[in-house]
Structure 1
């Protein structure tokens, strides 16, 4: 039995290995903003885009000075800038966007990548659930605030880092901003899945609202990647069986951050995807989305509620 299990896991391992696409696009003259840029998928995405000559604005809540200098040294691209962005604060998002609007005359690529898997606290200072705010609400607001710059690009691209976990959700207007005093494992899991489904739905609606502007919007599933996100989840959950499950999943299916970043990079630079919009990409090809993402009325209700949660003014709404 053990032998059979090992064989199955090995087959799954080789089946799930990514086939890296060839997207040899030069990005000299283009500008990109990448959130969650200090580590994991975000860092590797910045490294790849920078090696193509792209000007990068690294956005993260962490101190990025060392990461920035390492990327400059590795790519010999001096146009790498680090700016503080705390997605758990709507004010920080607005301050960050204000800086970008003042310093840039256009924006070609916006990659909404930052995220967390779980949180110890149940509320941020804005009254939002931390996982929902960092993964979804913060990016929802940021994208609205930077739309003007993206429209000034000949071919602006917006990408939301989602996940297959979006298929395991209980998203509704009631759970959009989870309010649980003592959340259990399933509640925490659903919050993460809800945030990733919300990103898919937001990407779809942004794509529709921006049709004809030259700006495309897509969501991407990078697969299971060995990043600090899963390390932190592992530390918070005390259940030994869950910890073992996470460890085994990473061993068998886990990709390193460089491999995980390739889907984002491909969607950001591939000439073949120049006009692709409203898609959910997994391993460089469009995938079916969770059923709720096809419910137009439900998606609109979530969108409308999100506008209220992040405090969009009438002028900021699309």
Structure 2
């Protein structure tokens, strides 16, 4: 595999980052960290939570020498919206140097393997008008980050005229930071679509390692159980945990690892940094022992397994309604 033998130093200071899903959770923590380090931020999400709205309100005004944060309403499953967020970055800041396709969902009932398309709880349709079916979870967790990566690479290899970000090269490096999960290393009976999406993202990251030779580093993080709304606002997920035993990984720990993906010379293209409580390590793609320790375990997973079997025992499981 060809790599850059002596990577050029990369600082986020003075750069611009596009972060999808930064209206809350890990993406928002990463946005806060980057802005504190002098990086402009384009927050791309369908909406902003109150803390993210306050962040944008406080940092959107142009002041000489100060980084800014702007919000662009973005539905990540709509490819024109993805194109638009790059256009906003170009208009506001002269282009992006860092892209983090961070939006994701954690096997909600409305797009869930155990609630098939067309059934009562699912929003996925079993009879799409054009015949082409979709799982919303996969559109969000997998297709959107793949498409974001394609658009970023295209713009960095053939930048728009007058782009401040310029063409990617050894001397003008760019960064793509994905968010995988420890679920990308393990099976998950109750959440098979989510686990499949994260296995795929980790494989995607590793497959693009050689882009380092063009000055484009693609890597990512694989967090453990993170204290974000994906868990805390979903009682069906929270029952997997025993908070007297299981440890949370804080979003700030993940954001620090994402910053390493951007700036640390020892982190190369194709790496997936596992982040558990107080510990970060590169996950090897061959013979890796898997995640262990605080922040990597949910003690009550058996409760959700039992719930799945209960659903499967119901008459007519999986039969589309109407």
Task: State the TM bucket, normalised to the shorter chain.
Answer: 0.5 to 0.7
CA distance in 1, matches of 2:20, 2:286: 25
CA distance in 2, matches of 1:193, 1:47: 28
Shift in CA distance, 91/247, structure 1 to aligned 2, threshold 3 Å: farther
Aligned to 1:40: 25
Segments of structure 2 that go 5 or more residues without pairing to the other structure are 1-8, 111-121, 158-166, 289-322
Give 1:161's match in structure 2, choosing from 154, 160, 179: 179
Aligned: 1:288 with 2:284: yes
Aligned-residue Cα RMSD (Å) equals 3.1
Larger radius of gyration: 2
Shift in CA distance, 221/102, structure 1 to aligned 2, threshold 3 Å: same
Aligned to 2:143: 137
Segments of structure 1 that go 5 or more residues without pairing to the other structure are 1-23, 170-184, 293-318
Give 1:115's match in structure 2, choosing from 104, 109, 116: 104
Aligned to 2:308: none
Aligned to 1:149: 155
CA distance in 2, matches of 1:291, 1:133: 30
CA distance in 1, matches of 2:69, 2:147: 24
Equivalenced residue count is: 242
CA distance in 2, matches of 1:108, 1:34: 11
TM-score, normalised by the number of residues in structure 1: 0.66
By percentage of residues, which structure has more helix?
1
1:1-318 aligned at under 5 Å gives the runs 26-63=11-48, 65-70=53-58, 77-100=66-89, 105-119=94-108, 120=110, 121-123=122-124, 127-151=133-157, 152-153=167-168, 154-169=172-187, 186=189, 189-208=191-210, 210-232=211-233, 234-235=234-235, 237=236, 243-248=238-243, 252-273=246-267, 276-283=268-275, 284-289=280-285
Q: Shift of residue 291 of structure 1?
A: 7.1
CA contact (8 A) 2:76 2:82 kept: yes
Aligned with 2:47: secondary structure?
coil
CA distance in 1, matches of 2:58, 2:249: 22
Shift in CA distance, 134/225, structure 1 to aligned 2, threshold 3 Å: same
CA distance in 2, matches of 1:43, 1:79: 14
